[in-house]
A = this chain, B = another copy of it.
Amino acid sequence: MPLTPEQLAEIEEARSEPRQTLRATAPGMEAHLYTAHPVLDHGLVRVIDYMGDDAAITQAARVSYGRGTRAVSNDEGLIRYLMRHWHSTPFEMCEVKFHVKLPVFVARQWIRHRTANVNEYSARYSILDREFYIPAPDQLAAQSTVNNQGRGAVLEGEEAARVLDLLREDAMRSYDHYESMLSQDGQQGLARELARMNLPANIYTQWYWKIDLHNLFHFLRLRADAHAQYEIRVYAETMCRIVKDWVPLAYAAFEDYRLDAVQLSGKAAQVLRRRLAGEVVTQDSSGMSKGEWREFEAVWG
């Protein structure tokens, strides 16, 4: 269970005290506030705060476009127009702050997105909890044979059992040794900032992560993608569901113009034009490399 009774009590308390505000509120997001969405075996995502809603996006766009914007008659149309034409600044006018609990190896991928504000639990200052990510059996996958950076078939039988045993035992032993090195019982006790180096990358950490909607969409496009590693994708998918409730119009535009979008290179667009004109195009006559042609065919047949 990802949250302690104390944390659950805190959440309940925070959720029981509505306050008055003159700010824009998003009802769909109020319903999510503080509530922990479980992810993986011990992880979670929960919304700590947010700023703005769909109307905040169009309000900012109308500052830019002045009276001229009245031409686009409604918020949905305007939001779709902004998304389609890569006018990103109005989406930056919304902001969200998440509390996330996640394995360290996921955190290391995640942090590469630089346009966010982060406060992470400090293992230099405090002692980490004994919580480790152990994959569920259906996620215990073999190395892909076609993609260096991917998974193949699910491991089975004895191999699967052996891997799970190793992961569990190494995690427990490392943590036991972490504690015994830290201990001040009959010894000085190693500094926390040193002892932590013994802990494996599947230990859980946590952070507050704050980001604007434009940069969050960029993160989600990359991390909710089928090529993203499963362990970060489930966080992105959880956030997608939350964002859909927060800014439904912006999320629908994001889905159509980003998540479901297809990017065609100049060469690929040319091939499609020829096909539409009835021509049969082969890799040879496409101007594309084998790798690119394979990727093109995977989408267009």
C-alpha gap A84/B267 in the complex (Å): 12
In contact, A198 and B210 (Cβ under 8 angstroms): no
Q: Beta-carbon contacts of A27-65 to B below 8 Å, as 1s and 0s?
A: 000100110000000000000111110001001110111
Residues of B within 8 A of A300 (CB): 273, 276
Shortest A135–chain B CB gap in Å is 6
C-alpha gap A164/B66 in the complex (Å): 27
In contact, A117 and B89 (Cβ under 8 angstroms): yes
Query: How many residues belonging to A are interface residues under a CB distance threshold of 8 Å?
Result: 133
C-alpha gap A152/B194 in the complex (Å): 12
Shortest A182–chain B CB gap in Å is 7
Instruction: Tell whether A269 pairs with B261 under 8 Å between CB atoms, given A23-B21, A125-B64, A193-B151.
Output: yes
In contact, A19 and B20 (Cβ under 8 angstroms): yes
Residues of B within 8 A of A33 (CB): 22-23
A167 at interface by CB-CB < 8 Å: yes
Instruction: Tell whether A119 pairs with B89 under 8 Å between CB atoms, given A21-B23, A166-B181.
Output: yes
Name A residues whose Cβ lies closer than 8 Å to a Cβ of B.
Answer: 14-15, 17-25, 30, 33-34, 48-52, 56, 59-61, 63-68, 71, 77, 80-81, 84, 86, 89-90, 92-93, 95, 97, 99, 103-105, 108, 111-112, 114-115, 117-127, 133, 135, 140-144, 148-153, 155, 159, 163, 166-167, 170-171, 173-174, 177, 180-182, 184, 187-194, 196-202, 206-208, 210, 212, 222, 229, 255-257, 259-269, 272-273, 275-276, 289, 291-292, 295, 300
